Structure 1
């Protein structure tokens, strides 16, 4: 035997009969009183109680539940900073431009897999944070891409800042990028709890999104590997998001 739905309690066809059974525990003494006074023929007593259960079950199946028929929504992928804010810079390389290219690559693979995708701009366009945050509402998952920077040229690694509820997804995303780029994982196997982040509370994370730090733009070796392999890393990230989205069905 294979159960097709583990969370049966979400259906009114289950909830209403259970409610009916509870109410009948209260109503049965009253129905017996009605029988005693010949208001209900004794042979109809069982029909009344059974009929209530059948009716409630039927009603539960017919009653439309919008929450069970909503589409999963879209996947939001956004690029950190904006066209007017370059973020961290290393020579000719600007963080905002690198992560915009990465966003576009991830979006390409997601759309190729048939997912509905929304981004904070197309091509070279990179909208400000305020626009990116608005995309989170209604999405099944939302990820924004950044690159780290540090005074030490040796600082390296990949991390994803997220709320505790998204720890596993954050770790999976970080590992996908680290494996593709030949980098290491920072934090808790690639996850950084926002409360432990040096940046403190972040608007994007507070709204339910995840922020990926794809590496250190200040590290020449890591920057070179990113530029050489970012399409490979983007495909790995897209695969994680596709699996995550499919699991919600």
Structure 2
């Protein structure tokens, strides 16, 4: 048996019956006293004690909770660059191909938990930036994956570029990747404000997304760690996104 990864306390169908059970502890002695002194018929006791909790459970189920039952909610996960734009390269390794693998791994873990997703391709497909940007609209959160590169081959570390409103999420995403790769956090505890990014204004971020830089492809040691542990980092990224949307 596999339990659903969520808090049952968010549902009124759970809260109301529990509240009813609490009040029944007070109500039952009172009803019994009224019955004993013939102030109410015996059947009232049976009706009240037997129907209160089921009635509250039914009511909790019928009351709409749009924030919990948004059938159109989804998470967007995309890979940087595209099939025709390899991005940064280190030997036989191309940034676009590496982040596509990472995107697929994150998508796998999200789907395992029943999270609706949209991606900029399936398998080895990696569509262009315009396609990725179009997928952001309507999503609960949109994340794109990239890798940094530098002329200094010793440069390393993890960062997430995002708008100030997404600072905490950006830091959480960077933190789990840095832990999985035994790397360091760059910027403000892993967050880089788009306005302070060397890349300037980025379309994916301006439209509401976050860009996670999964280390430096130009650093041979960090590249090796990525190839060995990207599934672990992808699982942890998925966990952060699941907690964020739930």
Q: Shorter-normalised TM-score: what interval?
A: 0.7 to 0.9
Alpha-carbon separation, structure 2, partners of 1:221 and 1:65: 48
Alpha-carbon separation, structure 2, partners of 1:127 and 1:204: 13
Residue 204 of structure 1: aligned partner: 204
Over residues 82-122 of structure 1, what are the superposed CA-to-partner deviations in whole Å (9 max), with x where a residue is unaligned? Answer: 00000000000000000000000000000001100110000
Residue 55 of structure 1: aligned partner: none
Alpha-carbon separation, structure 1, partners of 2:11 and 2:173: 30
Aligned-residue Cα RMSD (Å) equals 2.1
Alpha-carbon separation, structure 1, partners of 2:241 and 2:72: 13
Residue 98 of structure 2: aligned partner: 98
Q: Counterparts in 2 of 1:1-249, with a 5 A limit?
A: 70-71=70-71, 73-246=73-246
Residues 179 and 84 of structure 1: CA distance in aligned 2, closer, same or farther (over 3 Å): same
Residues 201 and 66 of structure 1: CA distance in aligned 2, closer, same or farther (over 3 Å): same
Q: What's the TM-score, normalizing by structure 1?
A: 0.72
Residues 72 and 178 of structure 1: CA distance in aligned 2, closer, same or farther (over 3 Å): farther
SS of 1:121's partner is: coil
Segments ≥4 residues shifted beyond 2 Å: 2-5, 64-72
Do the aligned residues in 2 keep the contact of 1:72 with 1:140 (CA within 8 Å)? no
Give the superposition deviation at 1:146: 0.1
Structure showing greater radius of gyration is 1
Give the superposition deviation at 1:71: 3.4
SS of 1:139's partner is: coil
Residues 71 and 147 of structure 1: CA distance in aligned 2, closer, same or farther (over 3 Å): same
Residues 67 and 241 of structure 1: CA distance in aligned 2, closer, same or farther (over 3 Å): closer
Alpha-carbon separation, structure 1, partners of 2:66 and 2:123: 36
Alpha-carbon separation, structure 1, partners of 2:11 and 2:68: 15
Over residues 53-92 of structure 1, what are the superposed CA-to-partner deviations in whole Å (9 max), with x where a residue is unaligned? Answer: xxxxxxxxxxx99899743610000000000000000000
Residue 17 of structure 2: aligned partner: none
SS of 2:167's partner is: helix
Give the superposition deviation at 1:233: 0.3
How many residue pairs are counted as aligned between the two chains?
187
Alpha-carbon separation, structure 2, partners of 1:67 and 1:169: 19
Residues 66 and 79 of structure 1: CA distance in aligned 2, closer, same or farther (over 3 Å): same
Alpha-carbon separation, structure 2, partners of 1:107 and 1:68: 21
Over residues 180-210 of structure 1, what are the superposed CA-to-partner deviations in whole Å (9 max), with x where a residue is unaligned? Answer: 0111000000000000000000000000000
SS of 1:186's partner is: coil
Structure 2, unaligned runs of 5 or more: 1-8, 13-63
